[in-house]
Structure 1
Amino acid sequence: MDLSAYQGIIFDMDGTLVDSMPTHIKAWQQTCHDFGLPFECDWFYSMGGSPTINTAIALLKKYNIDADPQLLVMSKLRHFDDINHKGDIIPATFSILKQQKAINKRIAVGTGCYRYHALEILTTLGILPLLDVVVTANDVQRHKPLPDTFLEAAHAAGMDCYRVRDGIIGEFRAFKQ
């Protein structure tokens, strides 16, 4: 893919730049155990990239449970905090990031992860110094799968924003500098 026409690149974090899903899955598994909820690994993988609150709401809805999703969120975040190694760099994507940064492209990360954890992961893996912008679940009202995270990252980086899906480019909306 020729990226020379673009002002910068916005990467998703979990599952694109960093393989952190096993850590999120482990924290959710422990949370389900705490609350006596069934744990379906494939279902949690399908929720990958969603902010924790959205996953908690979906989990309660899936099992028709009337409970405060914040209780699940607090448990999941506590378990996630307790895990020391939160993920590994995905080499192919990181290589693209480094190539684009080397030619002075603006580099952003948009993630459904909360800011505290995103910064911890990006710092631990040595990615944060390469980034111009980081947009997290704390920075938007409407979370993924809605495009607001990536639109905000594009805006903060002073870029136009396009969606690339299966090699096909579609414009969300353009931000003018």
Structure 2
Amino acid sequence: MNTIDFSAYKGLIFDMDGTLIDTMPAHMAAWQATADRFNFPFHQDWLHSLGGMPSFKILSEVNREHGLSLDPKIVSRFKMDTFAEMEEHGEIISCTNIVLESFLGNKKIAVGTGSQRDCALRLLAKAGILSKLDAVVTATDVERHKPFPDTFLLAAEQLCLGADECVVFEDTELGKQAAHAAGMDCVMVESGKLIFHPK
């Protein structure tokens, strides 16, 4: 078990993609197919760095980065459909799921994700995680997405907890920025280990 002391927190808020479930390879495959279909450059590291941002917002970044005028709604719908049709969306990530399991029934547990609600609920149910959660906040539920704090603040509110009573688990820089902007400590998943980043 890791050496981080979680006793000070009443609520645990987990990002989903790349934090609880290793969906990033499937997301990257879907982005590759989308880039091929709509003829824009596919840069895996750059796209990965935007993890936590909804697909339609990533498309706005693609347009800005490459001087394109793709329709974010049409292109992101293709990407999300491609992702949804994949058989394998990834294994659960053990270091975070061990923490979730160990505090089940003792602390309130939420997910705060940049995925759309229907996709997030489907993935969480398939991974056997959904039934263990007290709240789920998705890109569908907030106006301002990561790195803004809204996702995590709404999750804390749905858990009936203050920001200072919650800790966030993340795997991207955008997610960590969102956690710190919310006034919450952040635990990052780095190479299969949990690394503590206080606010």
Is the shorter-chain TM-score for this pair beyond 0.5, marking a shared fold? yes
Structure 2 counterpart of 1:5: 8
Contact 2:137–2:154 at 8 Å: present in 1 too? yes
Unaligned runs of 5+ in 1: 171-177
Unaligned runs of 5+ in 2: 164-183, 188-194
Paired residues in the alignment total 169
**Could you tell me how far 1:106 is from its partner in structure 2?**
0.3
Cα deviation, 1:4-52, whole Å, max 9, x if unaligned, reads 1211100111111111011111111100000111111111111112111
3-state SS of paired residue (1:145): coil
Structure 2 counterpart of 1:115: 117
Counterpart among 122, 130, 135 of residue 133 in structure 1: 135
Give the partner amino acid of 2:36.
H
Identity percentage of aligned residues: 43
Structure 1 counterpart of 2:53: 50
Which protein has greater RCO, CA pairs closer than 8 Å, 6+ apart? Answer: 2
Structure 2 counterpart of 1:106: 108
RMSD: 1.3
Contact 2:117–2:140 at 8 Å: present in 1 too? yes
Contact 1:87–1:121 at 8 Å: present in 2 too? no
Contact 2:59–2:70 at 8 Å: present in 1 too? no
Distance 2:36 2:69 in 1: 18
Contact 2:17–2:24 at 8 Å: present in 1 too? yes
Q: TM-score, normalised by structure 2?
A: 0.81
Distance 2:127 2:7 in 1: 26
**Could you tell me how far 1:168 is from its partner in structure 2?**
3.9
Q: TM-score, normalised by structure 1?
A: 0.91
Give the partner amino acid of 2:94.
P
Distance 2:74 2:90 in 1: 25
Counterpart among 83, 86, 89 of residue 83 in structure 1: 86
Give the partner amino acid of 2:61.
A
3-state SS of paired residue (1:32): helix
